[in-house]
Structure 1
Amino acid sequence: MFNMLVKSSPWNEGRDVFWKSRVFEYTSDDLRGLFTINNAPNFDALIKNPVIFIEETSRDRQQFGRVGRISRVNVNASDEITLEYHFDQLIPPISQRDLIRLAPLLGMPSTRFGHYSRTHWAVKDIDIYHVILSETLRNQRVPSAFRLPPAQAVDTNLLSAMMPFAGFDNVWTAIQQVAESSLMTAQRADSIWEHQEIIQDIVSLIDRSAVIIGDCSGRNANVFYEIGIAHALGKQVILITQNAEDIPFDLAHLRNIRYHNNGEGIERLKTELSGRLATIRSQALD
């Protein structure tokens, strides 16, 4: 069961105003009775169910619906009610085009825009999560050059390094030492062999890792490709380099750690990496 709230203007994430007179529009009599007390909407019962927040359909711009929860409803003396709510960050925005396509599954008429063209609060006896998982998330794009598991299983203590191999032994040793002092394990693609294709081992390592270190020194094409995969998978990526000019244009806006490949430079690299790792791990606990 879920609430469908359609509003004539964009939703303000966190707090917004709705209209009591529009509650139970496009809702069956039996559901209206289930959520009515003393001839008024029983908001305490209503907000126990998930919500899909939708903006009235516009033909001239891209729009998205969001799934979330209402935490509080404040009823005013007038027709206005104030809603406090949040969007579920684990469920991506749903395009208006998909919402129109899914209208029959969401209990709406199979017209072009359904009831999305009128502000209202409807209650539907439908499992909104099942509809989204079975009809929307399965249509997400999947890579063709490698495989990803259906669900990401991250090892919070795993750090992986994407870097050139030849001539970087001292850098790799430093990364391993930093990982150990941070109670993490450091791995590179050359230290594992789980699949027949090397790219699959690399992607699997990135997918499992909590943090990725990408060394852009020397403009290694493989490293750039691997950094791109890490960013696409939403990973925490720490960029390091011996030369600022080796950072490509598309990554130049991101902060990076620059180091010299000598004893003093490697020690400073270790210090800065340790500090950045500590910040990342602290943020993950918040």
Structure 2
Amino acid sequence: MEEFASPTSWYSVFGDFTFEPELIRFNGGEIPVPESSEGPASTTAKTGLAICDIKYGGGLISMEVESDHAEYIPAVQAVLFRDPSADNRLTAGFSSSEWDDNFTVNEFILKPLLGGKQGWNKLNGTGSKIRERGRSYRLEVEKHASIIEIQVDGIIVLRHRMPISLPPTQCGVFCQSKTEVRIRNFRVAAIRPKVFVVMEFSTPFNELYAEVIKPIVSECGLVAERADEVAGPGVIIADIERKLLESDIVIADITPQNENVFYELGYAHAIGKPTILTAEHGKKLPFDVSPFRTLFYDNTIAGKRQFEEGLRMHLNAILNPNR
């Protein structure tokens, strides 16, 4: 994980924010809700979304949160993902009085691109709605590929696994409050997205990994790893499953019909990991994977160059899906 970095600029997408050095104020407020068949006239809390200039695909987001709330408990959440083209986003942290839980992982879908219900959807939640007025809480949200963890004052309060991995985007904060909310010391310790490479451990695949795949992955700002590089005690299959869960992308070479490779490939598909298949030219692919796009290579100088260009293109397409 990299050193903590502070944003150099902020932008309020919507909502009343004030940005000061080391301090973000969300000024909150109330919105009248007219009487209807569902109930008498009331008020609801104003919302705000602020995005900073730090690109985030995983790592730790840390902030200190304080509010002067009375009856209405405000929401303060880290924005882990935001698609600017559709304003779909993923947030995690303190939830407001609108939700039953104190801590939630939420998705907001403005334009359903892959299905799903429009509006706010709670993906996971826990905790009683007890938060002291005027007290400062250290909120930390950590994301490793599809695993999201919420910590408050050093205590892990919620862990959630997403069904898919999301590409890096700029991060920020989401607030919902009737009163002022203060966020201090917003910091991001980003990590480089991980690529787990599944292949047979033998020649020529060792050379393909070391001389072609690993350098191209690093060039794209990612970290490549194979199962034989995993150190420490434990059952190897458990290590592989953990690495697949923690990876953002999976590359699988299916040239030899290796049972272990196909098991790991099937696991990656089952947990929704973006997967790049590679194979040597001329190899007949098994029926189950033949419909998937495969990057072919051959053992020539021109073939190596074409494979490098293709791998670079596939990785960038996953990292920047809207370009």
TM-score, normalization: structure 2?
A: 0.44
TM-score, normalization: structure 1?
A: 0.50
Could you say which structure has the higher strand fraction? 2
| Higher RCO (CA-CA < 8 Å; seq separation 6+) | 2
Could you say which structure has the higher helix fraction? 1
